[in-house]
Amino acid sequence: MEGVAVHPKAGAHETHPELSFVRKYIFSTDHKVIGIQYMITSLLFLLSGFTMMLLMRWQLAYPGHVLPIIGRFLPDTMAPGGVMLPEFYNQLGAMHGTIMVFLGVVPLGVSAFGNFVLPLQIGAKDMAFPFLNMLSYWIFLVGGILMLSSFAMPGGAAQSGWTSYSPLADLAPPGQTMWLIAMTFIITSSLFGAINFITTTMNMRAKGMTWMRLPFFVWCQFVTAILLVLAFPVLQGGAILQLMDRVAKANFFIPANLIFGGVPVEQPGGGNPLLWQHLFWFLAHPEVYVLLLPEFGIVAEVLANGTRKPLFGFKELVISLCSIGVLSFIVWAHHMFLSGMRTDVTKFFTVTTMLISIPSVMVLTCFLLSLRGGSIHFTTPMLFAIAFLPLFGIGGLTGLPLGFTPTDIYLHDTLYVIGHFHYVVVTGSLIALFAGIYYWFPKMFGRRMNVFWGKVHFWVSVIAMNGIFFPMLIQGMAGVLRRQYDPTAQVHNLPSLGLNKVMTWSAILLAVAQIPFILNFFISLFKGEKSTDNPWNATTLDMAACPSPPPHGNFAGDLTVHRGPYEYSVPGHKTDWSPQHVPEDQLTGRMQQQPAQQE
Amino acid sequence: MTPDQLYGWWLPARASTYAADLDRQLDVFHVAMGLIFVCWGAFMIYCLIRYRARPGVPAVYSHTGIVKSMIPDGIVLAFELFMIFVIGLPVWAHVMETFPEEKKANVAAVIAQQFAWNIHYPGPDGLFGRRDIKLISSGNPIGLDDADPAAKDDLVSVNQFHVPLGKPTLVYLSSMDVIHSFNVPAFRTKQDATPGMRVRIWFEPIMTGTFEIACAQLCGLGHYRMRGDVIVHTQEEFDAWLAKKQAEKAEL
Amino acid sequence: MSSYSTPWILESSDEPTSTGVPHGKLGMWVFLASEVMLFGSLISSYIVLRLGSPLFIVPSHEMLSVPVAFVNTLVLIVSSVTMVLALASIQQDNPKGMIWYLAATIACGLIFLTVKCWEYPHKWHEGITISSGLYGSFYFTMTGLHGIHVLGGVLFNLYILVRGLKGHWSPRRCERVEYAGIYWHFVDLVWVVLFPLLYLL
């Protein structure tokens, strides 16, 4: 009778506080430690993806010039004499996209903040399956390391774009096989994570935490997890088929009579390359919302807290969120308007694409209207959350002419597309993630980050980001195409080439702007000002109901939730925040003059 | 027109019949986007100044509802539906679904490969000769079967696409190896060339000159240098070019 | 297991849950939802190419050895029945019955896999290989992936059986027997879809 039956169930956390260092910080099953592990890891991946982008940007601004600093260290298969080869450029392009999406922004938004914050916000002691949670992190890490190490494969890393279109990817060097295997790990990891998030949200809410009392962040994570569960396996299916094509010479994406490099391929063929695109985008469009929805949640938390008033239209936000979730499954083929699909299919997808823009507009409208009537405190996270509104707005608006078939004919595959989705993912998602880091840092580590350097980080980053992405929109209108190793090779690129230097130097400025952030992060970790238990005077359980940092098991005793998530400035209450778990009678009283809020 | 006049910092010169239609939609969109953005931005800046935290002024506690936020959504939805059904779909149908009759058009096939555009002209008989991948060699890039009578008068050129002015050109687009995308920025033409598929596109130039063909879909390490030119001649020049090429072929 | 224990992958805790459904059961169903999408993507790819590709050549019924596959299908269906009986036995506090039925389920799973191991080289000799054509590509990929799932199910059942031999399960504590059952039924169901798609149509 060994094993599970004899273990004390609920008391397991409290009865064994003495853990070895390894069990506590490395192979931990505590959702908070896993969340922080995910955060550090994905920030490192973001940095590596960013470095790849800097190399590419240098090549674009100064084609054929020696890469500064790094160039000398690169082997001849990548950059002989320090000058980048086209193969290496394509590898960097594919890996930049893959790393930023699958190893950077998604793990940071979903796994890092989701793991750390979600159980705290619903009043749970941990995730539903802590062991699975730990497994998810380690599988993710293995996948990420495999992905990075594929640069060492013969022929280099995957080089067919992060979209890995067949048949190019079917016939590419072995790095692509590594890409597919690494993707399998990453997919498995996010599947485990998503199962955990869904079960935890449904099953482990504190007493009184009804669905409409869940903070918007939890809603966002919940919908995201559903998208992950339903969309990722389809890419997994596609990856299996592509892997079979590559390894076992199957025929799925190989059309008949294919000739590659002057030699007919071995297989008889008969497959269809468009099938891969359908399978890929069936994942990758919901994936765009996976990149975005958790960040909506972060912005909602920070906005409500920074304006000291309830969010505008909580119900509409939830309805919009769910509509986005549903609609995101029927818009995928708008990435394929010019692939040769039947044109009646394109019409269907144009209409659905326009439809999905409505709930997104609705979310943004609610956020904007939330500012009205507030008492806006310009704290560091709040600055990032405010910047999210107009900049994500640009990202959303530039999506309109792309989702619209006639205008997409010209803009498809130009830098306009790149500008559009970088406005969404960088000035949208990444900025919101920075807001989240500044917002939850005191809760994670019990210390505050430096305000001055936080604001320096904010202003320089925002200016630099616009300096990178706005010229892309202009170049896109001039017809400059994406994924070009040497932009001088095509005549129609030449007039707007000067903008490449603007973008490259802005990218370098963005790199410089991260130095205060990194230093601020690590110095504050050890030397930052001690934080109070509720660092932002917030109402949600993660901030209000547990100490900073929360102990193993999170909460002392069981919580009962009495009200909705964003009850700020309630008339008749003593403080301008009314935590979800505090009974009404302890809150009523004359509103006291608030001490000046810490920034 | 010289390249300097054709290409600039914004949309290239309009060198085909439907370029103006497509550009007008881009303009409408960008004006509307600008308007929405300015309204949003103005409202946001107003709020940030008007509702900044001041001592003694609490925030307004309210859970107001659905109707107000629906107004901008409704406007955007109406705008989008108008754009799709009234303006967009007719143009899409014109560009992508309404093809010129083969008899009245100049017909050619574009066969993409890494990293070149092969142009296959059917010649006076209007029939494309049979192709076989086994016949591909450096002198015969598309594997044209000379035994086929229809192939006798066919012409093949690489990266130089000659078309006449004054009538539409119908193109059969395909690829031999990986996916490419046939993009002529000055014509606003773009279509993927997918192996295993043969799709039709068309354009009608409105000026003579040389217009760049670029590959818009990542097709390998030479993607960036996969370029060609559409050379638009007057009908007389085009006929003279055809005759000259036919004579050259007959000599061989 | 070390002294410090957290609930294992599908461990159910006795704490009441918000929905009343145990964590493990909910997690299992969410997992199966993703599995449906995985097989769904492969099956819809199969249907699309089968209807759309002129080079999709379906081999004759003789080459496919339909009767063998039919018997195999019956074996799996029988195993589903024994799985139901196994769960019913333990719920009625009959551990011995559960062990026998579970053993029968595992045996059926192993028979299925053995027959597959016979079928693969047989097909290969008939000229149906992964690269011979679209049918072969789909046949080996889809049945292979399903075979891995069957193997996973057999291992899961084996774990339940070993625990059962140690007298671990009781009517109050038999959730994981149920989860193994849910998974096993799903694996059978996938085969019931694959069999007509690959062999009969």
Domain parsing of chain B, residue ranges: 19-97, 106-251
Q: Which of residues 32-91 of C touch A (CB under 8 A)?
A: 33-35, 37-42, 45, 48-49, 52-56
A118: helix, strand or coil: helix
pLDDT tens digit sequence for A120-135: 999 999 999 999 999 9
pLDDT band at B78 (very low <50, low <70, confident <90, very high): confident
- pLDDT for residue C4: 33
Domain assignment of residue A72, yes or no: yes
Cβ pair B25:A310 closer than 8 A: no
Cβ pair A308:B192 closer than 8 A: no
Q: Which of residues A136 and A8 earns the better pLDDT score?
A: A136
- pLDDT for residue B69: 65
Domain assignment of residue A161, yes or no: yes
Average pLDDT, chain A: 91
Q: Which CATH architecture has domain B106-251?
A: Sandwich (2.60)
Domain assignment of residue C115, yes or no: yes
- Interface with A, mutate which of B223, B225, B230, B231 (most A CBs under 10 A): B223
Instruction: Give yes or no for residue B68 having a pLDDT over 70.
Output: no
Domain assignment of residue A20, yes or no: no
Lowest-confidence pick of A547-551, B1-5, C6-10: C6-10
* Conformational region of residue A537, where left means phi above 0, alpha means psi within -120 to 50, and beta covers everything else: left
Domain hosting C40: range is 23-57+66-200
Q: Which of A168, A398, A490 sits opposite B179 (nearest CB)?
A: A168
Domain assignment of residue C18, yes or no: no
Count CB atoms within 10 A of the CB of residue B124.
11
Compute the radius of gyration of chain C from its Cα atoms: 19
Q: Which of A126, A132, A238 sits opposite C9 (nearest CB)?
A: A132
pLDDT band at A5 (very low <50, low <70, confident <90, very high): very low
pLDDT tens digit sequence for A420-446: 999 999 999 999 999 999 999 999 999
Share of chain B above pLDDT 70, in %: 98
Domain hosting A577: range is 31-254+268-586
Cβ pair A485:B10 closer than 8 A: no
Instruction: Give yes or no for residue A593 having a pLDDT over 80.
Output: no
Cβ pair A199:C3 closer than 8 A: no
pLDDT tens digit sequence for B139-152: 889 999 989 999 98
Q: Which of A191, A231, A270 sits opposite C134 (nearest CB)?
A: A270
Helices (H), A174-272: 175-203, 216-247
Calculate how close chain A gets to B241, using CA atoms only, in Å.
Answer: 25
In the Cβ-directed half-sphere of A321, how many Cα atoms lie within 13 Å? 28
Q: What is d(CA B167, CA B101) in angstroms, rounded to the nearest whole number?
A: 11
Mean pLDDT in residue range A45-63? 95
What CATH number is attached to the domain comprising A161?
Answer: 1.20.210.10
Touching partners of C (3+ C-beta pairs < 8 Å) = A
- pLDDT for residue A11: 39
Instruction: Give yes or no for residue A582 having a pLDDT over 60.
Output: yes
Chain B residue with minimum CA distance to A264: B133
C7 touches chain A (CB under 8 A): yes
Cβ pair C14:A272 closer than 8 A: no
Touching partners of B (3+ C-beta pairs < 8 Å) = A
Domain assignment of residue C4, yes or no: no
Calculate how close chain B gets to A5, using CA atoms only, in Å.
Answer: 49
Cβ-contact C112, C75 below 8 angstroms: yes
Total number of domains in chain A: 1
Cβ pair A1:C167 closer than 8 A: yes
Total number of domains in chain C: 1
Q: What is d(CA A574, CA A585) in angstroms, rounded to the nearest whole number?
A: 11
- pLDDT for residue A597: 53
AA identity, residue A373: G
- Chain C residues within 8 A of A198 when measuring between CB atoms: 26-27, 30
pLDDT tens digit sequence for C127-146: 899 998 999 999 999 999 99
Give me the torsion for CA of B59, B60, B62, B67, rounded to 10°: -110
pLDDT tens digit sequence for A101-114: 999 999 999 999 99
Domain assignment of residue A9, yes or no: no
Cβ pair A4:C8 closer than 8 A: yes
pLDDT tens digit sequence for A523-581: 999 999 999 999 999 999 999 999 999 998 899 888 999 999 999 999 989 899 999 99
Cα B239 to Cα A44, A285, B104: the distances in Å are 62, 49, 15
What CATH number is attached to the domain comprising C136?
Answer: 1.20.120.80
- Interface with A, mutate which of C12, C19, C37, C51 (most A CBs under 10 A): C37
- Interface with A, mutate which of B192, B212, B225 (most A CBs under 10 A): B192
Domain assignment of residue C184, yes or no: yes
Share of chain A above pLDDT 70, in %: 95
Q: Which of A161, A351, A477 sits opposite B11 (nearest CB)?
A: A477
Q: What is d(CA A8, CA B91) in angstroms, rounded to the nearest whole number?
A: 69
